[in-house]
Structure formats: structure tokens, C-alpha cells
Amino acid sequence: MAVLGRYFYIYGRVQGVGFRYQTYHWANQNGIKGFVCNRDDGSVKLAIYGSEQDIEFVDEWLKAGGPPGAKIDHFFSETWKTEPIADFSVRYQ
């Protein structure tokens, strides 16, 4: 199994609605590794470390609207290189 890293940059109503904490719980329930953090421009960065299937699963979840209370206007992603990540966390820049 190839392990990949992918950043998702998510825009819309994604700060002040519990996006990071709901994503944290969703990721842990689904065995997703990585982290989530707010960005200064009002967006959220979601970093995923896992298989292509894990990354596709996250992509589909975001396309379906992500966590309750959020309103995703758009998002994009890019590949990243990283050391292995053992869990999922909320980061505070």
C-alpha cells in the first residue's frame, strides 16, 4: 500500500462553526491520520496521511459538505511529502 500526503485547503463558512473539532472526531472514527488547523485567511487546512483510498474518502466527505454547520464554498488539494503521522490532531498554528 502506497502512503501519500495530501493538503486540502477549504474555503467558506469553516471557522467558528466547530469544523476542526468535528473533523477531528470524524477522522478518528474513520481511522484517518493527519491534522486540521485554521488559517489566517479564514480558510481551514486539512492534512491527510494515508492510502489513496483514505484520501479519496476525505475528498468525497468534503464534496458532500464536510462537518455539520460548515458551508464549504470550494476547496482544492495538493500533494505533500511528510514523515509518517500516527494519529489525527487539531493544530494551532
Instruction: Indicate if the alpha-carbon torsion angle 79, 37, 54, 51 is positive or negative.
Output: positive
**Catalytic: which of 13, 28, 30, 38?**
38
Active site residue 20: yes
Active site residue 28: no
**Catalytic: which of 6, 13, 20, 39?**
20
Q: How far is CA 26 from CA 2, 16, 41, 47, in A?
A: 23, 17, 24, 14
Which residues are annotated as catalytic?
Answer: 20, 38
